[in-house]
Chain A
């Protein structure tokens, strides 16, 4: 056992100097949110909002997956001009519709996301 310079539980942990701690706190805060996700409170008053958030997040996830797929197909040159236009238009409308519903339920842009705990965020 050669722990020559043992840490003390009471010792300060910040070793670097002149760091902008405020900026780090702001940036690391999602870490806390991610690890300790706030429970989705499905109480009677906010049930609609909680459900809307969950459903819209999942639909937005599917929309983004399809959008990536569409861009990939466009890159590969396997879509006709007409197909590109139709796909793009539908995805664009869908995005608009999701934004409308989001506003209707009073959800912020960032709220349309799910924290996957230590695994990061959904979108």
Chain B
């Protein structure tokens, strides 16, 4: 068996592990579709959220382009204040 870092990490091991994490979980060949990925549940939630955010941004940009400046106060923070 290859040697594994002991549970009490030294600084070297800690840095190396973080560097490994950055590559092994995020890079390498990605297989999409009908595949089980151990972190997939997590990924899916976040990808979904990211999609929502992307569309918020798109709407934001579209509004900036299509709406005349007079309608600037279409945004109503006051309504949000009621929420909290």
Binding site for B on A (CB under 8 A): 9-10, 12-14, 21-22, 24-25, 28-29, 31-32, 35-37, 56, 59, 61-63, 65-66, 69-70, 72-73, 76, 78-79, 83, 87, 90-91, 93-94, 97-98, 101, 114-119, 122
Contact = CB atoms under 8 A, between A and B. Distances in A.
B72 A21 contact: no
A69 B18 contact: no
A98 B43 CA distance: 28
Contacts of A9: 2-3
A66 B77 contact: yes
A87 B77 CA distance: 7
Highest count of chain A CB atoms <10 Å: which of B11, B22, B70, B84: B84
Contacts of A87: 73, 75, 77
Contacts of B12: 12, 14, 21
Interface in B14-45: 14-16, 18-22, 25-26, 39, 42-43
B80 A83 contact: no
B interface majority secondary structure: helix
Contacts of B72: 73, 78-79, 83
Q: How large is the interface on B (under 10, 10 to 19, 20 to 34, 35 or more residues)?
A: 35 or more
B49 A116 contact: yes
Given A9-B2, A66-B77, A70-B75, A28 B18 contact: yes
B50 A116 contact: yes
B69 interface: yes
B81 A25 contact: no
Contact of B16 (A13, A35, A66, A93): A13
